[in-house]
Amino acid sequence: MTRILKCLVLIASIVFLGLPSTPGFAQSVPELLTPKTPLTPQINGPKVYGVRPGHPFLYRIPCTGTRPMHFSVKNLPASLKVDELSGIISGNAPAEKGEFVVTIEAANSMGKTARTFKIVVGDKLGLTPQMGWNGWYTLYDHPTDSDIRKAADAMIASGMADYGYQFVDIDDAWARKPGSTDAELGGQVRDEAGNILPNVRFPSMPSLTQYIHSLGLKAGIYSGPGPLTCAKFEASYRHEDADAHQFNKWGFDLLKYDMCSYRNLVKEGNLDDLQKPYKLMGSLLKELDRDIVLNMCQYGEGDVWKWGRQVGGTSWRTTGDLGLAVGDSLPGFYSVGLANAALDAYAGPGGWNDPDYILIGTVGDANNRTAPPKATSLTPEEQYSYMSMWSLMASPLLFSGDMAKLDDFTLNILCNSEVIDIDQDLLGKQGKILRKTSLELILAKPLEDGSIAVGLFNLGKAPRTISVDWKEIEKRGRMQVRDVWRQKDLGKFDDTFGTAVPAHGVVLVKVEPARRKL
């Protein structure tokens, strides 16, 4: 080939195939498996929502498709209304317990769609795992009001909210820091009446939560049962009642309650000691006139999954900090995920195992908190595995990377409606481990429609073929298989399905009995 011809071939291959991974060239663009969002309306996210009788209700219908969109809801209880343009449902839940099956309708210039949605007025909150964002892994010890507002804006602008992401959670370091000489953090930590005070980076909590609510999103706050939080800010010890009421008055919808310095108060740490502060906060939150879900953060101590629900937890962290987890041959999230995967028996509507945040995209370094966040070192395959594992485990889907730096690849991981459907499935079952060897992991999650989501994970360094037999998922005969990431039917298979899985990667499929041709 002449030099000119070679050059033309190279340019053409760059245009059509992306950059080659030849040394000297930038890495090839990672493959986006999630198909482009359709322009027609598509309602996403959970199909059920729990609220306590008479309590304020706020739900922004997650819906993708060209805007403007027109929303309406059939059979909506009279105490609720929907905003036609934003799709925000608000008002107060009906005063009596009961189930209200409504039909959400969405229409735009390209078409229309409808989906059934169940509002369950009762005692249980968190009927599906929470979805949202938490600021810890990007903001660490220096969150500000403006960071949190921007994250909320980005949740809308990026489209994440259209897939069901809803919570915007402040983590540690919003309160004052006892003894600090820093003018922004120090000063009196509580007012004369004992009410906890935010530091100057948070000038008005009510105005912040109002802003988040005006977007149809929910706001989360953080404290702990000890005198100090992990970053040594004021926490709730001996002020539990005042704090629960203050968080409610400020308008928060979620409380992450982090054990930290409480440990020093109960050195021996028997089960009673571990349960006591969570029982207390759990019962205080239950008595409020608004719903606040309780995310227990005590790193799985005392087998919290066995009692977290009884003390009022909506979710409970099952392990230490994922950002500090170090892997050997695999990145840290696998070991956290595998430990969490063994706890499938304890998760279900109203109470979820929480293996911690989704740390992808641009994210800070937990070992060097002052360093600017940078692009994740996880390979694309590892990121597909991460999100697949979390969804199969019905884990809360809380992203903790930088909301201002969401790139197409990260959004393709976070916003695949069929992957999210697995996480948010109505049955609320956590997937079971079907096989675990040094090279393979298979997780299987039964879904409400009778199908089974199966994740075939390659834990090895080389691509390999992984198969699942129908016997293993307690099915027989001819089954239809759908590739969930690609949202593509793969065909009908008898007795078994096998496929090539990339190194550290996953193939996530949905398996259901093959339909007969009419």
Q: Which is nearer to ligand GAL, 33 or 322 (CB)?
A: 322
- Given 141, 153, 241, 321, which residue is catalytic? 321
Which residues 6+ apart lie within 8 Å of 189 measured at CB? 175, 176, 177, 178, 196, 197, 234
How many whole angstroms separate alpha carbon 268 and alpha carbon 252?
A: 33
Say whether residue 297 binds ligand GAL (CB under 6 A). yes
How many whole angstroms separate alpha carbon 439 and alpha carbon 180?
A: 50
Report 257-286 residues binding ligand GAL (CB under 6 A): 258, 260
Classify 89 as helix, strand or coil.
Answer: strand
Say whether residue 425 binds ligand GAL (CB under 6 A). no
Indicate which single residue of 147, 171, 291, 354 sits in contact with ligand GAL (rule: CB under 6 A).
171
Site string for ligand GAL, 320-349 (x = CB under 6 A): -x----------------------------
Please count the residues of this chain forming the interface with ligand GAL, following the rule CB under 6 A: 10
- Specify whether 321 is catalytic: yes
Are 71 and 105 in contact, with CB atoms under 8 Å apart? yes
Least Å from the CB of residue 231 to ligand GAL: 4
Site string for ligand GAL, 459-498 (x = CB under 6 A): ----------------------------------------
Q: Which is nearer to ligand GAL, 258 or 418 (CB)?
A: 258
**Other beta carbons less than 10 A from residue 122's beta carbon:** 15
Q: How far is CA 463 from CA 439, 441, 467, 499, 504, in A?
A: 10, 14, 13, 10, 8
- Given 258, 291, 344, 354, which residue is catalytic? 258
| Strand 218-223 with 167-169, pairing | parallel
Indicate which single residue of 147, 162, 169, 172 sits in contact with ligand GAL (rule: CB under 6 A).
172
Report 354-383 residues binding ligand GAL (CB under 6 A): none
Report 32-61 residues binding ligand GAL (CB under 6 A): none
Least Å from the CB of residue 297 to ligand GAL: 5
Q: Which is nearer to ligand GAL, 127 or 297 (CB)?
A: 297
Minimal CA–CA distance to 250: which of 297, 293, 195, 200? 195
Least Å from the CB of residue 104 to ligand GAL: 34
Least Å from the CB of residue 506 to ligand GAL: 25
How many whole angstroms separate alpha carbon 151 and alpha carbon 139?
A: 11
How many whole angstroms separate alpha carbon 354 and alpha carbon 349?
A: 13
Which residues 6+ apart lie within 8 Å of 277 measured at CB? 225, 240, 257, 259, 262
| Strand 63-64 with 440-446, pairing | unpaired
Buried b / exposed e over 234-247, threshold 16 CB at 10 Å, is: bbbbebbebbbebb
State whether the Cα torsion 183-185-187-193 is positive or negative: positive
Least Å from the CB of residue 379 to ligand GAL: 24
Q: Which is nearer to ligand GAL, 305 or 457 (CB)?
A: 305
Q: Which is nearer to ligand GAL, 76 or 260 (CB)?
A: 260
Ranked by CB distance to ligand GAL, the top (closest) residue is 230
- Specify whether 141 is catalytic: no
Q: Which is nearer to ligand GAL, 231 or 444 (CB)?
A: 231
Q: Half-sphere exposure of residue 325, counting CA atoms within 13 Å on the CB side?
A: 23
Site string for ligand GAL, 203-242 (x = CB under 6 A): --------------------------xxx-----------
Q: Which is nearer to ligand GAL, 222 or 497 (CB)?
A: 222
Q: Which is nearer to ligand GAL, 49 or 262 (CB)?
A: 262
* β-strand partners of 472: none
AA identity, residue 36: K
When computed from its CA atoms, the radius of gyration of the chain, rounded to whole angstroms, is 24
Q: Which is nearer to ligand GAL, 62 or 355 (CB)?
A: 355
Least Å from the CB of residue 371 to ligand GAL: 16
Least Å from the CB of residue 263 to ligand GAL: 10
Site string for ligand GAL, 120-159 (x = CB under 6 A): ----------------x-----------------------
Least Å from the CB of residue 173 to ligand GAL: 7
Are 315 and 296 in contact, with CB atoms under 8 Å apart? yes
Are 60 and 86 in contact, with CB atoms under 8 Å apart? yes
Minimal CA–CA distance to 425: which of 399, 464, 398, 451? 451
Which residues 6+ apart lie within 8 Å of 180 measured at CB? 186
Least Å from the CB of residue 255 to ligand GAL: 12
Task: Return the active site residues.
Answer: 258, 321
- Which chain residues interact with ligand GAL by CB under 6 A? 136, 171-172, 229-231, 258, 260, 297, 321
